[in-house]
Structure 1
């Protein structure tokens, strides 16, 4: 005989209600994470569930309620520690409200991103949190428009979608970092970051250019390397920039992977951070703490981003309109931001005194 509302054990939701001595509806509210449940009621039901080994049939529950209690999360790069922290905070917040989270990674590929969104739609997730590879890809726009539920964008802007968003104030952080470098005498400042098809790169460039304008210094656009957040791209661009006769005296790198790639390139070229070149990273990573000198950074609270994204999602599932939350960035100058290196010309050697020719004896 088919089991009802359970897998693994033979217990049913009715058995749980009888064991706990409560109504069937009370058990349902506890199991679905309903907030209108007293602590005493929740304790009774959870004790009965544990004693009976009851395991709810989630598919049956979703068919009855029209909700899977699952949120999809599409990451641009799951290997990036920033996204791991965002996802962890979002999952913790969703779990408190009885939701689980299904994570996929696009690995920076637009076709994978569109397929992941389509997969989440077929799995009937209640909503999607997404960090897009590009804001301009039509395949992604179409996949997002087909989602049957709220959408929360992470640091991205897509017009006409009606999505909520968690945005970071990259402009202010990069403006302060660039201004600090300019104040220390740097005028040849390289910026290595992602393509301008995403908001974070556009805002970083805007802050960079505004700091130059405020200092009355022209921007050398040949020092801009805006194409990818990948480490390999950053390494290649740093090697290119420092192979010039008029190489930069400072670098700003757009993200954890970019910073790692830039450091690899500088090491290969034997450029010392803090003396040969000043360096500011955008985003922090605990592994950077073992480096010397300490790296200056423009940071944001990744945990706050994840929590804000989850709360926006929960609010919209409860009927709220989409809205935008802005996360501050903070510039922290450290030892990697040194002054312009002053190269002292080597002293010229005095020409060797020519000895007088020996007189021949004869």
Structure 2
């Protein structure tokens, strides 16, 4: 197998020059770059994606960073992006930030070394002092998905999160519920902030007062949502309905209802944002607000490819996709609730 020294020897240049040609081509003269490229081709030297991209002019790699790969929303998003990329001859490098900004930053540095042609990013909710600089250093098209970021000028593909929560809350209110709990993510995350606002405005439109005591931050996680639901349902003035703003938190709320010996929707109605196959496999079948996940992934891929090819040169824009309320059996008119008597 050829080594970098073999390339340097054949091109009659130093090892340092070969390294620069592979990683910082702008620092090498056209004549030396041509000699290194010829040597790379002749020897078949390909230590990493950098060398391959040098020979072909494109790595045919697109990076995708998601917030939590255990969340079915993100696994479905990856499938959509990968399918769309494969149809165009690209491979996708998947990275999971686990909602940790330091891991996201590490992934951005790694993807730069892989010389990806474009990046699709679902940013963490945490504030990052380095994110903007790391993204700029990539010098490639970037498309945001699920969560937009103001001021950076990138294309973004997001759900109308305000409308999703508004429609869900309005549906619950339409069943005569007056104490409706919201189990949400942290307000620092744009998605959660927009869903909170939609919930508040739906209550206002129905003439109901907003009660901060009925709102819980469960960090978009199942166990935290379970704990929040247990606490809410054991309270002196328990809610008769719960809106959980993602699939993991919906599972947590359902577990809490079952563990307290309550029944949905007889004792507590539950509506969730995110619709997955299991929503129809449980009893009762869950009323949900569906996100067009496949369309979001495909649109993000289309945008990044258009930017890479130069077909799209306009200023970055945000594509907002509509949610869809799917009415099933988990929301009904409140009875004399047992929830307020749970010990």
Same fold (TM > 0.5): yes
**Is the Cα–Cα contact under 8 Å of residues 165 and 198 in structure 2 kept in the other structure?**
yes
**Which residue of structure 1 lines up, in the alignment, with residue 169 of structure 2?**
178
Aligned residue number for residue 280 of structure 1:
271
Higher helix proportion (structure 1 or 2): 2
- Asked if 2 retains the 8 angstrom alpha-carbon contact of 1:135 and 1:157, the reply is no
Distance 1:275 1:141, change over 3 A: farther
> 2:320 aligned with 1:329, yes or no?
no
State TM-score, norm by structure 2.
Answer: 0.80
Alignment partners' CA distance in 1, 2:2 and 2:264 = 67
CA distance in 1, matches of 2:97, 2:149: 18
Are 2:267 and 2:337, in contact at CA under 8 Å, matched by a contact in 1? no
Task: Name 1:98's counterpart in structure 2.
Answer: 89
Written as runs of structure 1 = structure 2, the 5 A alignment for 1:159-308 is 159-308=150-299
Contact preservation (8 Å) 1:301, 1:327: yes
Cα pair 2:118 2:305 within 8 Å, conserved: no
Map Cα deviations across residues 44-87 of structure 1 (whole Å, 9 max, x no partner).
Answer: xxxxxxxxxxx996654410344211011011111111111111
Task: Give yes or no for contact 1:155–1:199 (8 Å, CA) kept in 2.
Answer: no
Displacement of 1:132: 1.5
Indicate the SS of the match to 2:138.
coil
1:86 corresponds to which residue? Answer: 77
**What secondary structure is seen at the aligned counterpart in 1 of 2:153?**
coil
Question: What is the CA-CA distance between 1:232 and the residue it aligns to?
Answer: 1.2
TM normalised by structure 1 equals 0.76
Q: Secondary structure at the match of 1:138?
A: coil
- Per the alignment, residue 77 of structure 1 pairs with 68
| Structure 1 runs, 4 residues or longer, greater than 3 Å off | 55-61, 139-142
**Which residue is 1:340 aligned to?**
334
Preserved CA contact (<8 Å) 1:131 1:155: yes
Deviations 1:243-263 (A, max 9, x none): 211011000111111111111
- 1:139, 1:59 → 2: CA distance? 24
Aligned mates of 1:237, 1:2 — CA distance in 2: 59
Q: Which has the larger radius of gyration?
A: 1
Task: Give the paired residue count.
Answer: 293
**Following the alignment from structure 1 to structure 2, what is the Cα–Cα distance between the partners of residues 301 and 325?**
12
Gaps of 5+ in 1: 4-54, 345-362
SS of aligned partner of 2:99: coil
Q: Are 2:165 and 2:199, in contact at CA under 8 Å, matched by a contact in 1?
A: yes
Task: Assess, with a 3 A threshold, how the Cα gap between structure 1 residues 264 and 227 changes in structure 2: closer, same or farther.
Answer: closer
Measured against aligned partners, the alpha-carbon deviations of 1:281-328 in whole angstroms (never above 9, x if no partner) come to 110121232211111001111111110110010011122133322211
CA spacing shift, 1:246–1:2, aligned 2, 3 Å: closer
Distance 1:145 1:184, change over 3 A: same
Q: CA deviation at 1:139?
A: 3.6
- In 2, Cα distance between the equivalents of 1:145 and 1:61? 23
